[in-house]
């Protein structure tokens, strides 16, 4: 670690050159970039699987693949998007932004930071390698319900289990690092209620990760012993219960949903005030709403399991608790709209993505409320209505905020401005095609099309065709996004330190391209107050 | 003006359910009291959501259009209002309570299976449904219809010609009209879910546990559904078809089925010729086995082994019978088939595809059980 010593001696010393810079880096910006590029690569891989799925579903009949391969594609699409794309992208954003936002030089645990990233490519590689194994990749859905994933699964499932363990290590270390950074490295003059919302939402998300990921590790470990060591946790013939698996899985799975959306709430809470030229409405209620959502996320898991044969009292409780989540989520939406209200808005790319986030995520929220009503869920459950719902919250929710954040902070990351015209073209292309892709899936689900089927009866043909066309167009939009980002990095016009004049936040007080070690001296109380969202 | 009226009435006509019935835009109202209640709840929540959406998005888009810098809007600096925060916390709570009360009532009603007049046991298998009428002594398996299986890799014209592509089975479940039926739902291998949208019934079939649901259908007709829980390769190919018939027709059907069941038991006790076994075995094989092991016995190795040249099909008959009766790993049990069918299919597997195994009689299967 001679480089670490060298850079310690000279604060303006840059990173090591060449490939080893990325392998050995302990710098939060380098690691943030690695996370973001890894996530983007996985987004393209998972997207390619989605293209395969939509191509098979373009018309009735099996044209391109056999049903077993179709199931592998849906399973791997879900796993790669959740664990490979969305989660790493948010960790990448957290790495890049949190030290800059709290006036710190770097993350609290930089070597662990390096390790938690470098586990990821190996975990992803192991997961993807199962495609080439006997029996193929996991084909039991990203929720891997037992006993389909235990007694009835191919041998490659053990590699899947190992990959999930690795992903879990990585996430837990990332979460510990963020908690340690926010609580210990924050500028001494910055109180908790001075922290920007992105930092708040990530702090709360970290606690969700630490609570939820070990439960997932427990679930896959029980699967492992059921498969290989003769236990029967999930096998009724040995005194176990397959529904136990679902309880454990969703005890992880529901907080996981909020792990993927709380940082998105943070991002949008930065972008809307900037382009409305108005302070964020209800800063403290935003913080409390985030904390309430996080708390509620731990006590609603069985709303994914209304059809497993739960007692009526259980169904009633989980219905009421689920409906309650609409309240703090509603508070957030109302706060964003109040922030826009009587502002002086302009519509640069980040703002377009943020506004469409509020609109489309709320549509996903409404279908979520509908799904929470148990009797109605009997008809919605495991249909395309659910597929439409979670793609509205995960694609036009989580992914939208990641793209918004990329455009918003790209000038700070590179010191250069992206091509605004192209970014607007890309936005409209993506926002139209994504609705052509997912909106008809509501109709398909209500009309009775189950999810995860490789072929369908003829009354579903028209909407599937429309949905597939939208899917191909949406997939193609990412080619343009890739071009815009690379074009910005290479040829973008240099910007000032604060390219968005009304943006608030300590990160904008750094150099136009933020310096390699963010804050060598902590910012003053005066500066913190000036840049605070809680004005 | 006249043209506008015509256009409007055309639009209204398009919105009416008839035109869209073919595509299916909305949930079915169904044919049971539960499905009606569910539909009403669904529409209530839907319209409440629409009203909230109009208000919230209305405010947002008004702001987007009116409060823009290009129109000279000057940003005001307000950023807090305890009153507003209280209103938009309390009002949603009231709306939610308003939704929860009717939802709870329907839920409690649909979970109450105590008033059933008859019981049917539904068992999920990879990838078919088994229906048992315990009191009537009727039991049969319901597979995806051969016409649909053949059309999967066929042309669009094939799929249109056969009607109900992927929603047709060989043996329909038959129910009497106006009768409260309790379904006991379970599974033999992985988790399935038994779903008939028009009954408002969808329930997971868990291996080793029994769930229940009920339906009282008030209209004679044929109703179709599908498995709703991913259960492996052919999850999309195990539909459900229910014929709801008059009580008289139902009684007649029960008598017929009981006679057929007796004939099947009798045939299991006689000795069959190899030709008879091979002929019947081919049918049973194509219905139950060809999904994985393929019609020509080539299988889909390594997960679904080939029949052709298989060491089990060419080895000792007892091992082969044991494999089919009890399953192993991904191979499910087929013990729900009759002894004659099992003997026929085992004989077929042992002598078709160039295999050279022995002949198995129904009595061999009976003694192996």
Q: Is B162 on the interface with A (CB under 8 A)?
A: no
pLDDT of residue B190: 94
Does A308 contact chain B (CB < 8 Å)?
A: yes
SS3 at position A493? strand
Please, which residues 293-352 of chain B have a Cβ atom closer than 8 Å to chain A? Answer: 300, 302-303, 329-330
Residue A164, both tokens: 């999930």
Residue-wise pLDDT for A385-403, tens only, equals: 999 999 999 999 999 999 9
Q: Does A346 touch chain B (CB under 8 A)?
A: yes
Please tell me the distance in Å from A226's CA to the nearest CA on chain B: 13
pLDDT tens profile B198-219: 999 999 999 999 999 999 999 9
Residue B46 pLDDT more than 70?
Answer: yes
Nearest one of A261, A110, A104, A259 to A183, comparing CA atoms: A104
The residue among B276 and B35 whose pLDDT is bigger is B35
Nearest CA in chain A to B55: A334
Look at residue A9 in the predicted model and tell me its pLDDT. Answer: 45
Chain A residues inside the 8 Å CB shell of B223:
none
pLDDT of residue A338: 95
Residues 6+ away with beta carbon under 8 Å from B242: B172, B173, B174, B175, B196, B199, B222, B223, B224, B225
C-alpha to C-alpha distance for B122 and B217, rounded to whole angstroms: 17
The yes-or-no verdict on residue B2 having pLDDT over 60 is: no
Query: Residue B17: what pLDDT?
Result: 41
SS3 A345: strand
Taking residues B178-197, report their average pLDDT. 95
The residue ranges of chain A whose pLDDT is under 70 are 1-14
Average model confidence (pLDDT) for chain B? 88
Chain B contacts of A457, Cβ < 8 Å?
Answer: 164-167
Domains B118-258 and B270-368 share a fold: no
Do A344 and B69 form a contact (C-beta atoms < 8 A)?
yes
pTM of the model: 0.90
pLDDT computed for residue B21 by the predictor:
43
Backbone angles phi, psi at B250, to 5 degrees: -65, -45
Q: What is the pLDDT of residue A335?
A: 96
Percent of chain B at pLDDT above 90? 53
Residue of B nearest to A323 (CA): B96
The answer to whether residue A301 is catalytic is no
Per the CB < 8 Å rule, is B99 touching A334?
no
- Rounded Cα distance, B201 and B180, in Å: 13
The pLDDT tens digits for B256-281 are 999 988 888 777 778 888 888 898 88
Rounded to 5 degrees, what are φ and ψ at B2?
-65, -40
B2 vs A43, which has greater pLDDT? A43
User: Is B47's Cβ below 8 Å from some Cβ in A?
Assistant: no
* Region B108-134 average pLDDT: 91
Q: What are the sequence ranges of the domains in chain B?
A: 11-110, 118-258, 270-368
Whether A348 is catalytic is: no
Residue A13: its pLDDT value, please?
57
Interface check for A292 against chain B (CB to CB < 8 A): the answer is: no
CB pair distance less than 8 Å for B27 and A446: yes
- For residues B207-216, one letter each, b for 16 or more C-beta atoms within 10 angstroms of the residue's C-beta and e for the rest, the string is bbbebbbbbb
In the annotation, is A170 catalytic?
yes
pLDDT (0 to 100) of residue A145? 95
Q: Which of B19, B199, B235 to mutate to test the interface with A (most CBs of A within 10 A)?
A: B235
For residue A195, cis peptide bond before it (omega within 30 degrees of 0)? no
- Of the pLDDT bands very low, low, confident and very high (cuts 50, 70, 90), residue B6 is low
Alpha carbon distance B353, B282 (integer Å): 11
CATH topology of domain B270-368: Cytochrome Bc1 Complex; Chain D, domain 2 (1.10.760)
Continuous segment of H or E residues that includes residue A416 = strand A416-417
Q: Is A159 exposed, middle or buried (0-12, 13-18, 19+ CB in 10 A)?
A: middle
How big is the A-B interface in CB pairs under 8 Å? 297
CATH number for domain B118-258, candidates 3.20.190.10, 2.60.40.420, 3.90.1150.10, 3.40.50.720:
2.60.40.420
Catalytic status, residue A509 = no
Locate B278 and state its tokens. 């091979």
Chain A stretch 65-84, residues whose beta carbon is closer than 8 A to a beta carbon of chain B: 66-68, 71
Q: In this predicted structure, what is the pLDDT of residue B16?
A: 44
Which tens digits make up the pLDDT trace of B306-345? 888 888 888 888 889 888 888 887 788 888 888 888 888 9
Give the distance from CA B259 to its chain's centroid.
28
Look at residue B340 in the predicted model and tell me its pLDDT.
86
Q: How confident is the model at residue B297 (pLDDT cuts 50, 70, 90)?
A: confident
Strand, coil or helix: what is A383?
strand
Active site annotation includes A256:
yes
- Look at residue A86 in the predicted model and tell me its pLDDT: 96
Given a cut of 60, whether residue B10 has pLDDT beyond it is: no
Give the HSE-up count for residue A297: Cα atoms under 13 Å, Cβ half-sphere: 26
3-class SS string, chain B: CHHHHHHHHHHHHHHCHHHHHCCCCCCCCCCEHHHHHHHHHHHHHHHHHHHHHHHHHHHHHHHHHHCEHHHCCCCCCCCCCHHHHHHHHHHHHHHHHHHHHHHHHHHHHHCCCCCCCEEEEEEEECCEEEEEECCCCEEEEECECHHHHHHCCCCHHHHHHHCCCCCCECCCEEEECCCEEEEEEEECCCCEEEEEHHHCEEEEECECCCEEEEEEECCCEEEEEEECCCCCCCHHHCCEEEEEECHHHHHHHHHHHHHHHHHHHHHHHCCCCHHHHHHHHHHHHHHHCHHHHCCCCCCECCCECCCCCCCCCCCCHHHHHHHHHHCECCECCCCCCCHHHHHHHHHHHHHCCCCCCCCCCHHHHHHHC
Is the model's pLDDT at B359 over the cut of 90?
no
Please confirm, yes or no, whether A426 is among the known catalytic residues.
Answer: no
Residue A332 annotated in active site = yes
Confidence of residue B83 (pLDDT cuts 50, 70, 90): very high
Structural domains of chain A, with CATH: 19-530 (1.20.210.10)
**What's the CA angle centered on A389, arms A385 and A391, to 5 degrees?**
120
Residues of B with Cβ-Cβ distance to A236 under 8 angstroms: 206-209
Q: Give, in words, the CATH class of B11-110.
A: mainly alpha
Contact at CB, A331 and B85, closer than 8 angstroms: yes
Residue B19 reports pLDDT greater than 50? no
Q: Is A494 helix (H, G, I), strand (E, B) or coil?
A: strand
């Amino acid at each position: 670690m001679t480089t670490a010593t060298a850079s310690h001696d000279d604060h303006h010393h840059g990173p090591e050159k060449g490939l080893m810079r990325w392998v050995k880096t302990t710098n939060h910006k380098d690691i943030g970039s690695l996370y973001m590029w890894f996530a983007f690569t996985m987004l393209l891989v998972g997207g390619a699987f989605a293209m395969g799925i939509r191509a098979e579903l373009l018309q009735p009949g099996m044209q391109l693949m056999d049903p077993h391969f179709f199931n592998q594609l849906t399973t791997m699409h879900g796993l790669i998007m959740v664990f490979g794309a969305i989660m790493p992208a948010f960790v990448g954003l957290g790495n890049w932004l949190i030290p800059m936002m709290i006036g710190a030089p770097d993350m609290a645990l930089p070597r662990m930071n390096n390790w938690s990233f470098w586990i990821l490519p190996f975990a992803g590689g192991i997961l993807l390698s199962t495609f080439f194994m006997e029996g193929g990749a996991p084909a039991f859905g990203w929720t891997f319900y037992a006993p389909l994933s235990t007694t009835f699964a191919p041998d490659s499932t053990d590699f899947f289990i190992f990959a999930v363990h690795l992903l879990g290590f990585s996430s837990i270390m990332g979460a510990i690092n963020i908690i340690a950074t926010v609580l210990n490295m924050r500028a001494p003059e910055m109180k908790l209620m001075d922290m920007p919302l992105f930092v708040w939402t990530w702090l709360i998300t970290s606690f969700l990760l630490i609570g939820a990921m070990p439960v997932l590790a427990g679930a896959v470990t029980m699967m492992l012993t059921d498969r290989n060591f003769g236990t029967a946790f999930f096998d009724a013939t040995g005194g176990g219960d397959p529904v136990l698996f679902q309880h454990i899985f969703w005890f992880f799975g529901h907080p996981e949903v909020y792990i993927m959306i709380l940082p998105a709430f943070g991002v949008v809470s930065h972008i809307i005030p900037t382009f409305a030229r108005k302070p964020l409405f209800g800063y403290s209620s935003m913080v409390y709403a985030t904390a309430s959502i996080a708390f509620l996320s731990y006590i609603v898991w069985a709303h994914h399991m209304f059809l497993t044969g739960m007692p009526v009292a259980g169904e009633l409780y989980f219905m009421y608790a689920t409906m309650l989540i609409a309240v703090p989520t509603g508070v957030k939406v109302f706060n964003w709209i109040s922030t826009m209200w009587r502002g002086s808005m302009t519509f640069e790319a980040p703002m377009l993505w943020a506004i469409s986030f509020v609109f489309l995520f709320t549509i996903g929220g409404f279908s979520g409320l509908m799904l929470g009503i148990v009797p109605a869920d009997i008809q919605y459950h495991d249909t395309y209505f659910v597929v439409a719902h979670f793609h509205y919250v995960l694609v036009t929710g989580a992914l939208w905020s990641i793209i918004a954040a990329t455009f918003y902070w790209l000038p700070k990351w590179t010191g250069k401005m992206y091509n605004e015209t192209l970014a607007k073209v890309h936005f409209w292309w993506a926002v139209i095609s994504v609705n052509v892709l997912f909106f008809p899936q509501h109709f398909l689900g209500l009309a009775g099309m189950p999810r995860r089927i490789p072929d369908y009866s003829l009354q579903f043909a028209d909407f599937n065709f429309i949905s597939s066309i939208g899917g191909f167009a949406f997939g193609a939009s990412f080619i343009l996004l890739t071009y815009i980002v690379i074009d910005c990095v290479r040829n973008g016009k240099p910007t000032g330190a604060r390219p968005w004049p009304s943006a608030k936040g300590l990160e904008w007080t750094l150099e136009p391209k933020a310096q390699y070690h963010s804050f060598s001296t902590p910012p003053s109380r005066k500066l913190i107050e000036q840049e605070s969202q809680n004005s | 003006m006249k043209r506008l009226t015509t256009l409007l009435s055309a639009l209204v006509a398009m919105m009416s359910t008839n035109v869209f019935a073919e595509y299916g835009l909305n949930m079915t109202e169904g044919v049971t009291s539960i499905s009606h209640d569910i539909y009403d709840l669904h529409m209530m929540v839907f319209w409440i959501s629409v009203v909230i959406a109009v208000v919230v998005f209305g405010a947002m888009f008004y702001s987007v259009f009116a409060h823009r810098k290009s129109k000279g809007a000057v940003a005001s600096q307000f950023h807090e209002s305890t009153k507003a925060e209280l209103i938009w916390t309390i009002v949603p709570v009231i709306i939610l309570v308003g939704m929860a009360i009717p939802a709870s009532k329907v839920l409690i009603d649909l979970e109450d299976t105590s008033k059933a007049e008859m019981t049917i046991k539904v068992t999920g298998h990879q990838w078919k449904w088994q229906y048992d009428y315990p009191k009537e002594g009727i039991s049969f398996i319901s597979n995806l219809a051969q016409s649909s299986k053949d059309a999967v890799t066929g042309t669009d014209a094939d799929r249109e010609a056969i009607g109900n592509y992927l929603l047709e089975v060989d043996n329909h479940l038959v129910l009497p009209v106006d009768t409260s039926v309790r379904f006991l739902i379970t599974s033999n291998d992985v988790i399935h879910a038994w779903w008939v949208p028009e009954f408002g019934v969808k329930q997971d079939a868990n291996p080793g546990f029994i769930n229940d649901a009920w339906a009282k259908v008030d209209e004679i007709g044929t109703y179709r559904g599908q498995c709703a829980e991913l259960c492996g390769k052919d999850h999309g190919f195990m539909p459900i078809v229910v014929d709801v018939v008059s009580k008289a027709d139902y009684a007649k059907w029960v008598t017929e089925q009981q006679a057929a069941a007796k004939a099947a038991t009798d045939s299991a006790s006689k000795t069959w010729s190899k030709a008879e076994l091979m002929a019947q075995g081919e049918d049973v094989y194509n219905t139950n086995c060809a999904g994985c092991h393929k019609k020509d016995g080539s299988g889909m190795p390594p997960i679904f082994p080939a029949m052709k040249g298989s060491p089990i099909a060419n080895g000792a008959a007892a091992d082969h019978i044991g494999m089919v009766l009890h399953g192993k790993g991904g191979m499910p049990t087929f013990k729900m088939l009759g002894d004659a069918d099992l003997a026929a299919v085992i004989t077929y597997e042992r002598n078709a595809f160039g295999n050279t195994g022995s002949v198995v009689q129904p009595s061999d299967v009976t003694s192996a059980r």
